Amino acid sequence: MDIQLFQTFLKVAALENISQAAEQMNFTQPTVTAQIQTLERYFEVQLFERIGKRIFLTEAGHRMVLCAERMLQELAAVGQEMEAFKKTRHHLSIGISTQMINHLLPPILGKVQSCVPGIRVSIEVCKNATEVIGQLLANQIDLGIIHGEQVNAQVVGYNILREPIAWVVETKLHAQYGKSSQVLDYPIINFTRPGSVFRANFDAVMKDATFVSEIEFSDSEAVKQAALNGLGAAYLPKALLHEPIASGALQVLQGPAMHLPISVVLHKNKQITPALRGFLGVVADLPDVDPRLCSFLAALE
């Protein structure tokens, strides 16, 4: 039902005069009368009664005043909510597969803030890439950033980074092994199977090597702490190792060259909002980005 009917009713109720209400609302008197009659027909009640030259609210009319005022207040609240939303509508929710990716995001997010003023970003740290994909499918996040590549038919993914992996060992353990630079001279702190992109990468390059896997973890931060505590040699993204290497807590070893692919993923039917478009535009400028992402963005123009 047209909200104008209730606004007209309240004006007539306040003035108790159809002519004055029509004048103040810039309507003709017949128009105001017709609007009141429309309400009365719809609810099957009489809202006003005429006594002499004056009109008065009926009992139903008094009830209608309360309801109409409450309804218009709710409508005003909706308007305020929507105005507030428009000021913060550039929201972007991102799911990441490990804490490690947090080390790579700040410079990207800084550029996104410049491209999309007022953007608000929330980061959800997930257990693994599978959980990120699950949240995409449930529309709980706008996009994900994961290690490796996605394998779900409902999700599209583009490689954006190739994070180099470094082999490291704690300085005292390094000395105990005669400062050997060869990684296979040390027990290995490994990642658990299955589902670990780190471990899959390791198994691919070490398939013909003989080594001792001293201890295994499912989390990169746990592997880092184990290495710092001298439990063995570890392989980790360089993004996690700048500080302990610079301080001398960890020594870099010689080992097979490894890189960790990092991809941005989103649901293939996801609406591309200005915030999402801005983020993808920034990562599309990264040096190792999949050219298909650039083609995808060009098709949006």
**Residue-range definition of the domain harbouring residue 273:** 94-301
135 and 44 fall within a common domain: no
The count of C-alpha atoms lying within 13 angstroms of the C-alpha of 131, restricted to the half-sphere facing its C-beta, is 11
Mean pLDDT, residues 281-297 taken together: 91
Mean pLDDT, residues 212-223 taken together: 86
Helices 29-43 & 59-87, crossing angle to 10 degrees?
A: 100
269 and 151 fall within a common domain: yes
190 and 41 fall within a common domain: no
Residue where a domain terminates, one of 28, 62, 87? 87
> Residue 190's pLDDT band (boundaries 50, 70, 90)?
very high
165 and 243 fall within a common domain: yes
Q: Name the more confident of 150 and 9.
A: 9
156 and 33 fall within a common domain: no
What is the CATH number for 83?
1.10.10.10
- Only one residue has tokens 């990441």, namely 96
79 and 105 fall within a common domain: no
Q: Cα separation of 202 and 167, whole Å?
A: 11
Q: 66: which residues sit within 8 A by CB, 6+ positions away?
A: none
| Model pLDDT, residue 220 | 85
First to last CA, the chain: 40
| Model pLDDT, residue 89 | 57
100 and 200 fall within a common domain: yes
126 and 209 fall within a common domain: yes
Into how many domains does the chain fold?
A: 2
pLDDT tens for 28-48 read: 999 999 999 999 999 999 999
105 and 59 fall within a common domain: no
Residue where a domain terminates, one of 62, 87, 112? 87
198 and 141 fall within a common domain: yes
> Residue 149's pLDDT band (boundaries 50, 70, 90)?
confident
pLDDT at residue 296 above 70? yes
| Model pLDDT, residue 106 | 87
Report field, pTM of the whole predicted structure over 0.75: no
> Residue 88's pLDDT band (boundaries 50, 70, 90)?
low
pLDDT tens for 249-279 read: 999 999 989 988 889 999 999 988 888 999 9
123 and 155 fall within a common domain: yes
